[in-house]
Amino acid sequence: MSLTIPAEYATVAGLIGGGVAALFTLDEDHLREVGHTLGVFARQATPSLAGAEQAATVFTSATSGATRDEFAGHWNTLASEGHTGRLVRIANWGSTALGAIAQAIELAKMGVLAWLGWSTAQLAIAAFTGVGVIAAATSALLRARTSIGSITTKLFTHLRGTVAQTIRRASDQLKDILNKLPNLGPKPRLALAGHGPTPSATPKGGTRLSSSWASPGKRKAADEAMQRRRAAQESIKRLGKEIEDLEQQNHQFRQAIRSLKREIQGMREENAELILRIRDPHMSVWSAKSYGELLDRQTKLSQSHQREISSLEKAINANLVSIGSKRIAQTTERRNL
Amino acid sequence: MTDQAGMSMAFDAAQRGCGEMTRSVQGYAGAATGLRTGLEACGGGTQQDPELVVLLAEFTGLLSQAADRSAQVYAATADGMADTVTAVRQAEAASAAQVDAAQVHAKGAT
């Protein structure tokens, strides 16, 4: 359940104002649920995509001539792991990102609650001990307002800046994928260049299955050569786009790494401050406990950021390998031109 | 290996590829449906930050739409493969029937 402002802190929250109300309108549990849903999709889709890729390879090796060319053309441009693989990677990224955003919101809320608790205690002390302490309570409230302001400003700057931009970029990539996938409507039928099978055609003998899927009768050698050239051109273009996408993705991964490193650095500084506060002998047990929990959370978040950085670095390396193999494939295809 | 044996092996492989594609497509379609229903179940939560609400709604909407669209493309591919295998099987049967008819005709002539 998302953290909310307890009733006993409501008065102080009202006095402090600032971004407290806005912060508590954020629902971190909702973000976690959405992230979890995306993660489940990515985990379920991955083996199916691998199976489809394998099936396409088996089918391609079992067919020949125009059938194979038509199928390979369709597979490479529409159905191959390329677009859908990107889609699943985005879902995976979304799952991790939303989980991290939810954690950041929760941490901010915990920090604010710790300050609200402390301020409520200061006001209660002032109410019992008399006018002399009111000045100290007011000063405490002002300190709490500054600190809470800093927490909420930092969070909202992060949400409106890096997070919003990254989600927008992911949405742009999804739009690009949707533009490339054909809109088949609710009941899709043959998608292979609009050609249906011709049952009357007799398959020829040989070591490969040869049907007349794409066109009746034999094609002339010149037509085939032209088709090969066109396929090679399309393949080079597609590979180029895929390389571009991977480079773009690596760029985003590097940006994400830089942002995570900055956050880790920020948390280190905050942790040092928290440790000092915890060691303060005047700190109440409750506040020290809250700070301790906050410290523990921040330490865990730093560790999770560190893991994310190393997985992003691995993804960058995998992309670099993939870019290399695609460049080799481009060179091979150029020989067919 | 005779042409007929080679043909049969290739046909089996195509049929196997087709079956595997159908299973994979069903798995992927299930994942896409799960995504859509899962996101519907999540709803908007109690999220009230307008910018975040809009960003999330667009992102998850596009993701769900793209997953459904790609599931359709995969389904169409599996259909195309199945139709091809069926067409070749029918053509083989028709070819065999022609050969039989020719043999009966030849016997009748002698």
Are residues B88 and A213 in contact, defined by beta-carbon separation less than 8 angstroms?
A: no
Task: Tell me which residues of chain A, numbers 217 to 256, contact chain B at a CB-CB cutoff of 8 Å.
Answer: none
> Quick count: other Cβ atoms within 10 Å of Cβ A176?
15
Q: How much of chain B exceeds pLDDT 90, in percent?
A: 36
Mean residue pLDDT across chain A: 78
Calculate mean pLDDT across residues A155-161. Answer: 88
Work out the pLDDT band at B110, boundaries 50, 70, 90.
low
Contact (CB<8Å) A49/B28 = yes
Calculate mean pLDDT across residues B70-93. Answer: 84
The amino acid present at A274, given as its one-letter code, is L
Q: Is the pLDDT of residue B6 over 60?
A: no
pLDDT digits (tens, 9 = 90+) for A38-78: 999 999 999 998 899 889 888 888 877 777 777 887 787 76
pLDDT for A224? 67
Contact (CB<8Å) B94/A199 = yes
Are residues A159 and B52 in contact, defined by beta-carbon separation less than 8 angstroms?
A: yes
d(CA B59, CA A93): 12
d(CA B40, CA B32): 12
Q: Is the pLDDT of residue A186 over 50?
A: no
Is the sign of the CA dihedral A55, A59, A60, A61 positive or negative? positive
* φ, ψ of residue A63 in degrees (nearest 5): -110, 170
- Test the B interface: residue of A30, A32, A213 with most B CBs within 10 Å: A30
The DSSP line for B31-53 is HHHHHHHHHHHHTTTT---HHHH
Calculate mean pLDDT across residues A112-130. Answer: 81
The amino acid present at A237, given as its one-letter code, is K
pLDDT for A130? 64
Contact (CB<8Å) B77/A83 = no
The DSSP line for A98-158 is HHHHHHHHHHHHHHHHHHHHHHHHHHHHHHHH-GGGHHHHHHHHHHHHHHHHHHHHHHHHH
What is this model's ipTM? 0.83
Per CB-CB distance under 8 Å, the chain B contacts of A26 are 47-49, 52
Q: How far is the CA of A153 from the CAs of A77, A238, A297, A302, in angstroms?
A: 46, 44, 20, 20
Task: Tell me which residues of chain B, numbers 10 to 49, contact chain A at a CB-CB cutoff of 8 Å.
Answer: 10-11, 13-14, 16-21, 23-25, 27-28, 30-32, 34-35, 38-39, 41-49
Instruction: Classify residue B8 as exposed, middle or buried by CB count within 10 Å of its CB (0-12, 13-18, 19+).
Output: middle
Residue A164 has its nearest CB partner, among B16, B55, B73, at B55
Q: Is the pLDDT of residue B58 over 90?
A: yes
Label residue A193 left, alpha or beta by phi (over 0 means left) and psi (-120 to 50 means alpha).
Answer: left
Q: How far is the CA of A4 from the CAs of A35, A119, A160, in angstroms?
A: 21, 17, 22
Residue at token pair 């956050």? A263
* A209: β partners: A63
Calculate mean pLDDT across residues A270-279. Answer: 79
Q: Given CB atoms, is A62 within the 8 Å cutoff of chain B?
A: yes
The DSSP line for A38-63 is HHHHHHHHHHHHHHHHHHHHHHHHHB
- Say if pTM beats, i.e. exceeds, 0.80: no
Q: What share of chain B is helix, strand, coil (3-state, %, to 5)?
A: 90, 0, 10
Residue B87 has its nearest CB partner, among A55, A191, A198, at A198
> Quick count: other Cβ atoms within 10 Å of Cβ B65?
17
Q: How far is the CA of A265 from the CAs of A258, A268, B91, in angstroms?
A: 11, 5, 69
Two tokens, residue A73: 């053309």
* Cα nearest neighbour of B29 on chain A: A45
Closest to A88 (Cα-Cα) out of A43, A31, A34? A43
Work out the pLDDT band at A192, boundaries 50, 70, 90.
very low
Residue B18 has its nearest CB partner, among A27, A59, A207, at A59
- Test the A interface: residue of B11, B52, B64, B68 with most A CBs within 10 Å: B52
